[in-house]
Structure 1
């Protein structure tokens, strides 16, 4: 099984200059736990912002949801893989780096992302 078999292709993105409140609002609207942070130019890296990033910054560190930008708390560059990589290698990469989501890129163009939950869903379907 390859990344292209489990990846999500419809990705919600956000500007790195958006406020954290806007990011949370987008996550709530689309029922997501993460957003892809847009590049500023073709050579820039993609980023990833998650509920965990926001909670850590706003709750644990007393950050201001209306003052902080997405860029201040996102993971950038986000760890990425290609769509033809075997899922077993993606799972290893996730465990080693303690992340639940990876971007799927082709020559720095965003194709989608793969989440640990998506891999588990496919695995559980094979068990049934």
Structure 2
């Protein structure tokens, strides 16, 4: 099975210049725990902002969510994989690198996002007995 078979194609993105408050509102509205931080230009890398990044900023650094921009706290560059990669390799990469999500690229374009939940859900679905 290939990454393209499990990835989520409707990726929630945000501008690197958005505030933390805007990111939190976007996450809540979309029902997601992370956002892909858009590139500023074709030569830039994608980033990713998660609940963890936000909590560290608010709690540990006593950050003001209206003054801090997404690019100040996002993980960048985000790790990317090609759409044709075998899911086993993506899963191994996630485990070895202790990552919960990977950005999926088709050439130089963002094609989707693959999370550990996507992989585990598929494994659980395959493990269910057939409903005959």
Could you tell me the TM-score, scaled by structure 2's length? 0.94
In structure 2, distance between residues paired with 1:15 and 1:36: 9
Q: CA deviation at 1:106?
A: 2.1
Equivalence for 1:117: 117
Which sections of structure 2, spanning at least 5 residues, go unmatched?
none
In structure 2, distance between residues paired with 1:106 and 1:19: 29
Q: Give me the CA root mean square deviation.
A: 0.8
Q: Which is greater in Rg?
A: 2
Could you tell me the TM-score, scaled by structure 1's length? 0.96
- After superposing on structure 2, the runs of 4+ consecutive aligned residues of structure 1 that deviate more than 3 Å are none
Equivalence for 2:86: 86
SS of match in other structure, 1:5: helix
In structure 2, distance between residues paired with 1:64 and 1:99: 27
Equivalence for 1:57: 57
In structure 1, distance between residues paired with 2:2 and 2:59: 37
Q: CA deviation at 1:60?
A: 2.3
Equivalence for 2:34: 34
In structure 1, distance between residues paired with 2:60 and 2:8: 30
Residues 83-121 of structure 1, C-alpha deviation per residue, up to 9 Å, x if partnerless?
111111111111111110100012221001100000000
Q: CA deviation at 1:124?
A: 0.3
SS of match in other structure, 1:16: coil
